[in-house]
Chain A
């Protein structure tokens, strides 16, 4: 994947085939990144094995791998990941839907903007850990609470980006719509929505990792299932290798989710110039 910012003529003419791009350059350029990661892991293993760093919380990487293997084989890791992902997706969907809705509405309507935005600003700037105790009152300590927390975290970036996208709309586009006599609804559908889509997806991409993070944090604070809970109980059981194994699985899951999102984003935004160059 090259960028518009690269100034070689090959990119600018955008003639190269996608396949060559994907497997030729992609593999080659990303390879260095993978090697970097491998080197860091080797460093981890050596530092623990050689005793450069002594701590119950710094097991050998090989021990972590072994724990990961056992955890995956026994299905334990799969189960906790599934549990976390379920909550995460529920909260993510809700948060995105609300974020887009409010972003579009408030971005285009002044009255709603003035009345509702201050309230959203307060919600957005209030860190969720601080409001968990009151939330427990109304939502208990199980799934509802956690999904709600996730939704609260997903909403702001999606809202902010959608709102920003709507506000940042090129005036010319709107004027053109006016010239063509488009109705309010049609303007929204044919001009505003497509033009704001890249901003929306940018917000949704950020929100994706936020959703996973909040899902795990919520589980660390209360509950019986999920990765967050597993991380805490492994720490208290002095099983740091299992804990790191779960962290790695979490990273892998997050990476995969992001990749899937990118593929979907590309499919939806294939017409936009930021995608055209890739």
Chain B
């Protein structure tokens, strides 16, 4: 554990030195940073942009943006990786909004959200039955792009709320309540889809 944390701090120091040298004019060294993080940036981008070509171009845009605003990076606020993910998320979101229309097929009213209990939501989202999971996939696709990203960062990447708040640039309390709201909304959508399919 100690060795791991030592390695992390060494990596951070190495990164900080690397960034300093790039800022001093050795721009070729940015290739090292790009090689290290390009895969993660692509994964983040691909969640919003399914086309491989578009995703690669957007990844390049994100890395170029990171290079141009490298002087703004503050190691005290976040790690370089989190900072880079933030840039990747915003670049991908900008690209997505420019080229795709937000699809929201199920209108959810506030009174439905008020009527569904927490227990009912927990049971629905904890169910691993294949047809339920398929409906859940569909329901996730009906969410807004930033809500989809929030779910992915929290449940799939296992990132903390603090990190998510840093990447998506909002306060932690907002994301806590937003997650609860998305869960309820998903539960209602699943129920509605089940009813529509006559289950």
Q: Do A and B bind each other?
A: no
* Chain B interface residues toward A at CB < 8 A: none
* Chain A interface residues toward B at CB < 8 A: none
